[in-house]
């Protein structure tokens, strides 16, 4: 594993740099823009990253790696994902140039750069290093459902779809919890989270039988240092392609609390017009039921990604979703994650009180998405 912190990084996002089209790049730049010296995308060459994203001001967008070499980069970070394990032919020359010039290459593609004969030979000749973050751990084991014995509070972000803010919400919750004095740690389960935090496993590259086991191992490791463990979610339980990863994570993490992440005004799974999103209250019930096969978990709040909406528009969306679900709701970028942390802390206190015998456990008949500060119960989805 290469350390990206305090290294001069060029982010490669050829042909697709943007808030939605290059998730890896935009996530990395939100939290690590100080280390980035340039972004490669020939379509937008000459523009400033800050103009495109609203953050990362002062980082130039250039037309090629050749142009970026004048900034003396140490790492070429592939900042886009692909829907297959093929490598675009046009990318080969850019990666090859990096390796020839002694620039390390970090990639979250399913295509393994390190195993390609041309690339491995170039790296050996120049001393460059290749880090394929989609490589699973060497030691794999199935889950043994051991997390019920730890004292740490496990929180898991789950989603209505892909790219709706599960990673961002997990990071913002972690940072807000730390500011409030909680000893919180973030568990990265995808390449963007790994680049930002420096640790983790991209679970979508782990064989299906071992996703829960790898997740369990990461949580156990984090529990040696943290009282709160915030596990980054992947995909969605209702997604036609990625539900398997979602369920493996959910059962491996054995969370006690869930935060449901959603994108404002999204009506169907991205790229799947014939797969409408399920109502949020239905997803709350489904996630809670699936988690409960190992131990009870409550959705304690909603994190809604409002994208390019204005602050005023975002506030309206947040208020509407809060009314619909009866759950504390926020956009963690517009309004911060304090509301979610407060809801999580209150839930944690109730759990501890129940274990100590100082509080009566909630009735099983009570609806899973009832507001904690309300006397009435929201109608359960049918």
CATH number of the structural domain 9-132 = 3.40.50.720
Instruction: Give the separation between CA 187 and CA 203, rounded to whole angstroms.
Output: 11
User: What is the rounded distance in angstroms from the CA atom of residue 322 to the CA atom of residue 348?
Assistant: 21
Per-residue pLDDT, 165: 95
pLDDT in tens, 196-218: 998 999 999 999 999 999 999 99
Residue 373 has pLDDT above 70, yes or no: no
DSSP secondary structure, 221-242, as one string: HHHTT-SEEEEPP-S-TT-TTT
Query: 360: pLDDT confidence band, cut at 50, 70 and 90?
Result: low
Q: Is 134 exposed, middle or buried (0-12, 13-18, 19+ CB in 10 A)?
A: buried
Residue 82 clears pLDDT 90, i.e. is over it: no
Residues of the chain with CATH 3.40.50.720: 9-132
Q: What is the pLDDT at residue 359?
A: 60
Lowest mean pLDDT among 89-93, 161-165, 299-303, 356-360: 356-360
Q: How many helices (H) and strands (E) in the chain?
A: 12, 12
The residue with greater pLDDT, 4 or 57, is 57
Residues of each domain in the chain carrying CATH 3.40.50.300: 147-356
For residue 273, with 0-12 CB atoms within 10 Å meaning exposed, 13-18 middle and 19 or more buried, which class applies? Answer: exposed
Q: What CATH topology corresponds to 147-356?
A: Rossmann fold (3.40.50)
Q: pLDDT tens for residues 241-278?
A: 999 999 999 999 999 999 999 999 999 999 899 999 99
| pLDDT given for residue 23 in this prediction | 87
Percent of the chain exceeding pLDDT 90 equals 83
- Give the span between the Cα atoms of 196 and 127, in whole angstroms: 25
Indicate whether 109 pLDDT > 60: yes
């Amino acid at each position: 594993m290469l350390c990206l912190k305090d290294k001069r990084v060029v982010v490669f996002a050829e042909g697709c740099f943007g808030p939605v089209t290059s998730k890896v790049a935009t996530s990395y730049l939100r939290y690590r823009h100080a280390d980035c010296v340039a972004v490669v995308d020939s379509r937008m060459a000459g523009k400033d990253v800050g103009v495109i994203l609203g953050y990362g001001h002062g980082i130039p967008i250039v037309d090629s790696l050749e142009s970026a070499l004048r900034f003396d980069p140490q790492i070429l970070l592939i900042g886009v994902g692909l829907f297959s394990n093929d490598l675009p032919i046009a990318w080969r020359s850019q990666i090859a140039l990096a390796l020839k010039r002694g620039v390390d290459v970090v990639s979250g593609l399913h295509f393994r750069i390190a195993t390609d004969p041309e690339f491995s030979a170039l790296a050996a000749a120049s001393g460059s290093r290749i880090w394929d973050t989609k490589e699973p751990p060497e030691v794999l084991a199935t889950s043994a459902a051991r997390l019920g014995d730890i004292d740490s509070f496990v929180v898991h972000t789950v989603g209505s779809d892909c790219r709706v803010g599960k990673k961002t919400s997990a990071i913002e919750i972690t940072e807000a919890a730390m500011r409030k004095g909680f000893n919180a740690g973030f568990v990265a389960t995808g390449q963007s989270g790994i680049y930002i935090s420096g640790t983790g496993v991209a679970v979508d590259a782990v064989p299906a039988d071992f996703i829960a086991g790898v997740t369990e191992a990461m949580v156990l490791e984090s529990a040696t240092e943290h009282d709160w463990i915030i596990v980054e979610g992947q995909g969605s339980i209702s997604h036609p392609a990625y539900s398997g990863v979602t369920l493996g994570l959910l059962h491996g993490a054995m969370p006690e609390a869930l935060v449901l992440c959603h994108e404002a005004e999204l009506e169907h799974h991205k790229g799947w017009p014939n797969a409408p999103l399920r109502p949020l209250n239905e997803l709350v019930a489904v996630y809670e039921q699936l988690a409960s096969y190992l131990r009870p978990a409550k959705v304690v709040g909603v994190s809604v990604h409002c994208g390019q909406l204005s602050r005023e528009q975002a506030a309206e969306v947040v208020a509407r979703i809060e009314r619909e679900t009866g759950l504390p709701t926020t956009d963690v970028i517009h309004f911060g994650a304090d509301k979610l942390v407060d809801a999580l802390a209150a839930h944690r206190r109730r759990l501890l009180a129940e274990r100590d015998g100082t509080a009566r456990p909630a009735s099983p008949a009570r609806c899973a998405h009832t507001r904690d500060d309300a006397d009435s119960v929201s109608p359960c989805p049918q």
